[in-house]
Structure 1
Amino acid sequence: MADTSFDLIVVGGGPGGYVAAIRAAQLGMKTALVEREHLGGICLNWGCIPTKALLRSSEVKHMLDHLGDYGFSAKDISFDVKKVVERSRKVASQLSGGVKHLLKKNKVTVFDGMGKLDGTAGGQRKLAVTDKDGKKIADLTAKNVILATGARARSLPGLEADGKLVWTYKEAMVPESMPKSLLVVGSGAIGIEFASFYKDMGADVTVVEVMDRILPVEDEEISAFAKKSFEKQGMKIMTSAGVKGLKKGQNNVTVTVEAGGKTTDITVDRVILAVGIVGNVENLGLDGTKVKVEKTHVVTDPYGATGEPGVYAIGDLAGPPWLAHKASHEGVVCVEKIAGLKGVHPLDTANIPGCTYCRPQVASVGLTEAKAKAAGYEVKVGRFPFIGNGKAIALGEPEGMVKTVFDAKTGELLGAHMIGAEVTELIQGYTVARTLESTEAELMHTVFPHPTLSEMMHESVLDAYGRAIHF
């Protein structure tokens, strides 16, 4: 008979849940993890990881299409979409297996099923685990329960996905054939990554965004740069636009888009919906508890505690930013607080970097220039273009920019915003700087290696203070 009594039960095995479970085990807690589908959650199986594998393929396709720029030539270049998808699925499966191994190594007991709060007994939380058919497979108890059930794609009335002609991210990741044309609704990170992938793979792509600019959470200059870049690639972008209806044909969709008081009908092979996410708050046994739900997300304190004693929530379930690395860090903070460790700092969401792996890549941390000004800061802003960087030119990647925003009074780095090749790797330098509470002085005194893309980070700081050397 499997053990059913634990110190901590984690519900959900995504990047928040499995990291929380491993950290708890490291701290000597007897830990159980309940996962209904795939270890690694959406991120590893249907999100962050497999999409990066797809985007790597489209990056290779782009390079092959521009071989002449590097002195090469090749004939009859083609691709097999099934093999592209297969590689992406293999990458996901390898990492999901890795999570399984890590949990086993750390002696975390894994239950395959759905977890639901089921009252208390003798000061312990009770949790019922059922299989897919609703049949109970275990009754577990623990002093503390962490809910990490994540989120799912938002659906809009009249714009429901059918998996055939109208896709969510899930169908968009496993196309059986390459659509010749598609329309993406929503231009956040998910929408833009798919738009970029399909454009580079040869599809005719249109993006419709209800806000007045694409990538609306990014700095306005970065959004404008991205739009110009995508349009140069041949992507059609419609901002301040709404989808008013979908008319499905045999093997295509006619989308009615309203923008600037005019309506336009656009016929495409497929539609991808990327209009946000909603928290998985259903069937968790929250009724009758003091757990508060607002806009499909569980309300918590800075350490993940809900209004119900012994019940915590982390990751996408606990609200934005909806990022895997935020969920993982929240999991660690929550567990360390439960364990009573000293000096546990709550997560500062202002220091969480955001990355979008389109081409060109986009990355940022901290406040945009507009938000810094709105918060009452007097700012100094620096910029440096990729065209002024030797490594960028040598790579054949002269398109991009780095922008830094400082507090004019104290020199605090308020925010950093980048677009261009490999900026998703570069942003961490500014994230470390913000965590260390660096000012412009430390960043100016840091020696950056040459020739690297990272030198632009230095130059952008120098530029904010009128000291840029190479521009």
Structure 2
Amino acid sequence: MSTQYDLIVIGSGPGGYVAAIRASQLGMKVGIVEKAELGGICLNWGCIPTKALLKSAQVFDYITHAEDYGVKVSKAETDFTGMVKRSRDVAGGMSKGIQFLLKKNKIDHIAGFGKVLKGTKVEVTDDKDAKTVYSPKNIILATGGRARELPNLPIDGKKIIGYRQAMVLDKQPKSMVVVGSGAIGIEFAYFYHTIGTEITIVEYMPNIVPNEDVDVSKQLERTYKKKGMKVMTNSEVTSVDTKGKKCKVHVKTKKGEEIIECDVVLSAVGVSTNIEGIGLEDVGVATDRGQVVVDEFYQTNIPNIYAIGDIVKGPALAHVASAEGIICVEKMTGHNPEPLDYDNIPGCTYCAPEIASVGYTEKKAKEAGYELKVGKFPFSASGKAKAGGAPDGFIKVIYDAKYGEWLGAHMIGANVTEMIAEVVVARKLETTGHEILKAVHPHPTMSEAIMEATAAAYDEVIHL
């Protein structure tokens, strides 16, 4: 293995490995440091294995409602262990795929824990505590994040768990309290409820999925309550008594304290950055409130040291980290990339119904001073959605009334995570509402609801 590198990347998640591959494409000799599985949290313990679990839940849901489609089947049963095994197998296969990509691009995998030293050096400690020091020309920090722990909700891995344990439990719990209703909490709530676990969601904010447009939040809450989940908003878990066989969850609500008994508590209250112990203080890399301070091309205050992904300001999303990594190395190698437009980043939640959004919510657009044209089109009026047995949800679009600028879009329904890209590209191209309205969308599709919602905004809707 070479000891001379143009670039060493610390961390092999969707920020790190993408940056490494792009750097190699641009002619750099690259090494990537990883202490665990290649692919990082997203591929091994986040985005990919959770989607495998969610697919298992969806298949089970289809089978249990087969008669709705004119199909008779014998009673379906869940195999929780089999679901977990499939999820781990999918993640394992993807991790091997990253190994192939690194080898294909002649990138060295340096196994161990990476730490930056003064003088643009990287010290790597392997699993036998042997240390090797490298002197690359450039360093990218892409160390990612981990589950955030609240002082009153310490994760013990058994009764109070984080997302990692939620993916590999030995047996399916009969009841679970999910604390936090962001993407992680909502997805696990859907998965476990669908396969038969009794679910209670506790959210501190007034609405679940609080970063979404309020119409989307209210729709999802109605759907989840209709499915039989208990949803508690404006509520706070103050403590959990784990001494007995069951957990006793103390929840503070506007009406007073409520105690909920359950088998397991899932803490899904966000992520913390992995910046401890990697040498930032010793080298003098500036941080602010747990994040590395960088410029628009991810350069830190120390020459030749860069940072991307969850450890810098911006949405903690895999596709954001990948985009940042590409921009970072392109700038590093003398190209002239555009800075990332953080106002045009799509967010997706893969519960059922799915949620996808980009740009301003209606509330934030009004606060920004825009005069708005807002249109909504329900999937209950979509032939494709009705035929597919997925009439829940809607498309909501928000345009600037003066110039037709597409300010935002908010979707809840089946497969909307596949539809949001149209909005992202259109906004990138500065497309107007009139152009979306006059662009012919195929029928019957769920995606034509974007055109229909736009027509509603401009008082030209046909199918409502």
Match of 2:272 in 1: 278
Alignment partners' CA distance in 2, 1:265 and 1:104:
54
Match of 1:416 in 2: 409
The answer as to whether partners of 1:165 and 1:251 remain within 8 angstroms in 2 is no
Match of 1:430 in 2: 423
Match of 2:196 in 1: 202
Match of 1:400 in 2: 393
Match of 1:131 in 2: 126
Alignment partners' CA distance in 2, 1:468 and 1:249:
59
Q: Pick the aligned partner of 1:441 from 434, 437, 447.
A: 434
Q: Does 1:381 align with 2:374?
A: yes
Alignment partners' CA distance in 2, 1:47 and 1:143:
32
Query: Shift of the alpha carbon at 1:132?
Result: 3.6
Q: More displaced, 162-171 or 241-250?
A: 241-250
The answer as to whether partners of 1:278 and 1:297 remain within 8 angstroms in 2 is no
Dislocated runs of 4+, deviation >4 Å: none
For 1:38-90, what per-residue CA distance to the aligned partner results, in whole angstroms no more than 9, with x for missing partners?
11100000000000000001111111111110111222311211110000001
Match of 1:110 in 2: 109
TM-score (normalised: structure 1): 0.97
SS at match of 2:57: helix
5+ unaligned residues in a row in structure 1: which ranges?
none
5+ unaligned residues in a row in structure 2: which ranges?
none
The answer as to whether partners of 1:351 and 1:431 remain within 8 angstroms in 2 is yes
- Same amino acid, percent of matched pairs: 51
Query: Shift of the alpha carbon at 1:288?
Result: 3.6
Alignment of 1:15-414 (within 5 A): 15-120=14-119, 125-132=120-127, 134-136=129-131, 138-342=132-336, 344-414=337-407
Alignment partners' CA distance in 1, 2:288 and 2:237:
27
Alignment partners' CA distance in 1, 2:160 and 2:387:
41
Alignment partners' CA distance in 1, 2:360 and 2:60:
35
* Paired residue type of 2:33: V
Query: Shift of the alpha carbon at 1:319?
Result: 3.0
Query: Shift of the alpha carbon at 1:134?
Result: 3.7
SS at match of 1:20: helix
Alignment partners' CA distance in 1, 2:128 and 2:217:
46
* Paired residue type of 2:385: A
SS at match of 1:417: strand
The answer as to whether partners of 2:11 and 2:32 remain within 8 angstroms in 1 is yes
Q: Pick the aligned partner of 2:457 from 441, 464, 468.
A: 464
Query: Shift of the alpha carbon at 1:251?
Result: 3.4
Alignment partners' CA distance in 2, 1:291 and 1:385:
50
Query: Shift of the alpha carbon at 1:320?
Result: 2.8
Alignment partners' CA distance in 2, 1:133 and 1:467:
68
Alignment partners' CA distance in 2, 1:158 and 1:219:
29
For 1:357-399, what per-residue CA distance to the aligned partner results, in whole angstroms no more than 9, with x for missing partners?
0011100001100011111111110100001110000001111
Query: Shift of the alpha carbon at 1:459?
Result: 0.4
CA RMSD of aligned residues (A): 1.0
Query: Shift of the alpha carbon at 1:261?
Result: 4.5
TM-score (normalised: structure 2): 0.99
Alignment partners' CA distance in 2, 1:167 and 1:11:
27
Alignment partners' CA distance in 2, 1:147 and 1:243:
35
SS at match of 2:283: coil
Paired residue total: 464
Alignment partners' CA distance in 2, 1:116 and 1:44:
23
Alignment partners' CA distance in 1, 2:282 and 2:303:
13
